[in-house]
Structure formats: C-alpha cells, structure tokens
Homo-oligomer: A and B are copies of this chain.
C-alpha cells in the first residue's frame, strides 16, 4: 500500500507542512511539488485540482482526529468518564499534531470549503454527538439543544488546543489542559 503511492504521500505530507505554514493561497502547487521532489505534472496526476488535494488532506486528518478521540472510550464505564476521555484525547492529539490542527482550523474558516468534504468530515464525529445525547438522557449533561452544544464544544476544544500548543513547559501545559477541560465540563454538566 505504501509501495506504489510514495509520490502521492510525499505530496500530501509536503502540502500539510506548507499549507499550515503559509496558508492555502500562499502555497503554489509548484512549491508543493518542488518540495515534495516531484514534477509539477505529477501533482495533477494524483489530484485533479489544487482544491482536491486540500479536500483529501482534510478528510484524512479529520478521520485521524476522530480515531484518536475514540481511543479507549470503550474501556471507560460511565458516560462522564467517556466524555472526559474524549476531551483528553482530543487535546492530546491536537498537541501532538500542531500542523494538522492548524490545517483544520484554516480549512474550517476558509470561504471555499467544499461542502462535500465538510459534511463527510462531520460524520466522523457522530460518536461524539451520540455520547452527548446519552449524557443528556442519563441526566449527567445539561439538557441543551444538541446542535448548539455540539457547536460550543467544538469551539471550546479548538480554543483550548490552540492555547495549550503555545506553552513550552509540559507541566504548565498539563495544568492548562486540566483547567480547560474543567471549563468545558462545567459548561455542559447538569
């Protein structure tokens, strides 16, 4: 699986770095192919369009993030513990993948987001929505309109990850993550 598409992967990897450093519009496809060590034409063999490249990158990262957030959920007993676990996973993943976070952030706020990628992406997080609904029905989570809750959770997490990523001191960072997660939990708990 890795054998054949080395070039495609090289393009995707390079694109992630460049996009997060310089933005979508500040990154010409020619730069991506040069840095990836392939010809200009090669990029367009694998991706019909620059936007297609961005979309595929988005889908992959979204899926990876969702997978990372699920990790270990099943071993948790209570809904509260599960929600905490997801929050923790999210922040940890975000801090270990700052480029990907930056990319996602940029994508989410771009005016040209391909709606299809957008929607496909959201579907990866249904498990989160399910979790929250369960929490509400169990009376642990406050009975807020679920879409609103979902939206506020997402923005809070994004803010927390962004802030924590700047910190160098691992000790302080861990503390900030705890405080941030507390803010979020207090915001939603019944």
Q: Is the CB of B106 within 8 A of A106?
A: no
* Interfacial chain B residues near A149, Cβ < 8 Å: 183
Other-chain contact of A156, B112, B144, B155 (Cβ < 8 Å): B155
Measured CA separation A163–B175 after assembly (Å): 30
Measured CA separation A156–B148 after assembly (Å): 11
| Nearest Cβ on chain B to A21's Cβ, whole angstroms | 8
Other-chain contact of A111, B106, B151, B162 (Cβ < 8 Å): B106
Number of copies: 4
Measured CA separation A152–B158 after assembly (Å): 9
Q: Is the CB of B159 within 8 A of A155?
A: yes
Q: Which of A6-14, A22-30, A59-67 contacts B (4 or more CB under 8 A)?
A: A22-30
| Nearest Cβ on chain B to A145's Cβ, whole angstroms | 6
Measured CA separation A145–B183 after assembly (Å): 11
Query: What residue in chain B is nearest A176 (Cβ atoms)?
Result: B148
Q: Is the CB of A26 within 8 A of B152?
A: no
Interface: A17 (CB within 8 A): no
- Which 7 A-B pairs have CB atoms at the shortest separation, nearest pair first? A155-B159, A23-B111, A109-B109, A187-B187, A183-B187, A25-B25, A151-B163
Interface residues of A, Cβ cutoff 8 Å to B: 21-26, 105-106, 108-112, 142, 144-145, 147-149, 151-152, 154-156, 158-160, 162-163, 175-176, 179-180, 182-184, 186-189
